[in-house]
Structures are given as structure tokens and as C-alpha cells.
């Protein structure tokens, strides 16, 4: 059984199109099962289009846009992958500012697959060790981070301003979900 997230609200930030469905729905369900409240935040209102790799999948209702959402109302942030989703987010200044606010507040952040791309734009990978889809390896290194090929990587709480949970791919979702729920239950770094 997961650690409790009772009373905690977690933002899932996605672009209007291109999120990998399983990387959205699986952690979402883990947050719910742990008693937390997941909320979908996007750069546009309406619905977001998820994908199963390159094929269109389901659509999901947006709870708030990044201009409406206050990072202070959330206890943590999840950045699902897919290739297009994080690529779109990293070029949107409002989305990057939303992400940066979680780091500035010491709140936990989790990113899977290509999800770390917007972390580079938010200047949040320097001096951190993280994992991702292998093609981001050079981008992370160029941004001052250390890339490792591990199922899940949790940045040490003692050596960083906040905790960062990262994983490589959908095959890592079980470990990713367990780690993000455990770390998010601990709350912001004091």
C-alpha cells in the first residue's frame, strides 16, 4: 500500500496535445489511490489529447490553465512524457514559470520519459542527478546535470532545494509511482 497523500493536491502539467497517456493516467491513479487529489493543468482550457506512442488515444478535461493555476495551491508537480508534450511545454514561458515556482518553493516534482525537457528550460537540472528517456542524456548534461540510466532516480533531499523524482519510460511506471507518492507525502523541503 502507498504512503498516504490524504489532503494533498498534485498538479499534472501537460500540453494541449502529445502527452503519453499511460504516463498521465498511471501516476494519476497512484495519487488517487494514495488519497490525493490530482488536477490537470495545461496551457489551454478545454481538453487535452493524449497519445499511445504515435496514435491518438483519449482526451482529458483540463481543470485549470497555467495562467489560472497557483503553484501555491499544489503540494507537488508531475510532468508526464511523450515527445510532443514536454517539447511544447518547454517553449511556453508560462509553463516554464509554473514549473520553476515549484522548485523555488521547495515542493517535490516528478518527471518521466521526455518530461525533464521543460526542467532544463526552468533551469532546474544543474548539479542534479536524474534519469529520462535516453535521448535527453546530452541535453541534461549540457544543462549541468548528471544523467544516469536507472529505473527511477530520486534526488537526495539533503543536497537539493527540493526533491526530484525521475524515470526513463513506461516500463518504469511502478517504481516511478511508488517513489513519487512516497516523496510527495513528505511534502516541501524545509
Q: Which residues are catalytic?
A: 113
Of the candidates 160, 135, 133, 5, the one whose C-alpha atom is nearest the C-alpha of residue 79 is: 133
Alpha-carbon distance of 30 to 188, in angstroms, equals 19
* Non-local CB neighbours of 155 within 8 Å, separated by 6+ positions: 128, 129, 130, 163, 164, 165
Task: Give me the helix-helix angle, 21-33 and 173-186, nearest 10°.
Answer: 50
Tell which residue, 190, 154, 187, 136, has the closest CA to residue 5: 187
SS3 category, 98:
helix
Amino acid at each position: 500500500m502507498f504512503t498516504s497523500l490524504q489532503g494533498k493536491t498534485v498538479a499534472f502539467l501537460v500540453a494541449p496535445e502529445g502527452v503519453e497517456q499511460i504516463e498521465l493516467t498511471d501516476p494519476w491513479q497512484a495519487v488517487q489511490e494514495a488519497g490525493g487529489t490530482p488536477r490537470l493543468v495545461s496551457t489551454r482550457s478545454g481538453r487535452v489529447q493524449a497519445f499511445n506512442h504515435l496514435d491518438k488515444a483519449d482526451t482529458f478535461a483540463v481543470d485549470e490553465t497555467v495562467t489560472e493555476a497557483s503553484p501555491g495551491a499544489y503540494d507537488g508537480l508531475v510532468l508526464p512524457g511523450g515527445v510532443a508534450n514536454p517539447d511544447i511545454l518547454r517553449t511556453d514561458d508560462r509553463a516554464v514559470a509554473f514549473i520553476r515556482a515549484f522548485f523555488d518553493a521547495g515542493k517535490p516534482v516528478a518527471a518521466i520519459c521526455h518530461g525533464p525537457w521543460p526542467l532544463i528550460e526552468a533551469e532546474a537540472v544543474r548539479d542534479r542527478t536524474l534519469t529520462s528517456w535516453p535521448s535527453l542524456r546530452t541535453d541534461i548534461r549540457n544543462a549541468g546535470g548528471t544523467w544516469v540510466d536507472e529505473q527511477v532516480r530520486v534526488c537526495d533531499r539533503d543536497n537539493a532545494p527540493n526533491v526530484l523524482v525521475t524515470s526513463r519510460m513506461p516500463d518504469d511506471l511502478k517504481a516511478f509511482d511508488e517513489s513519487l507518492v512516497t516523496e510527495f507525502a513528505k511534502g516541501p523541503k524545509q
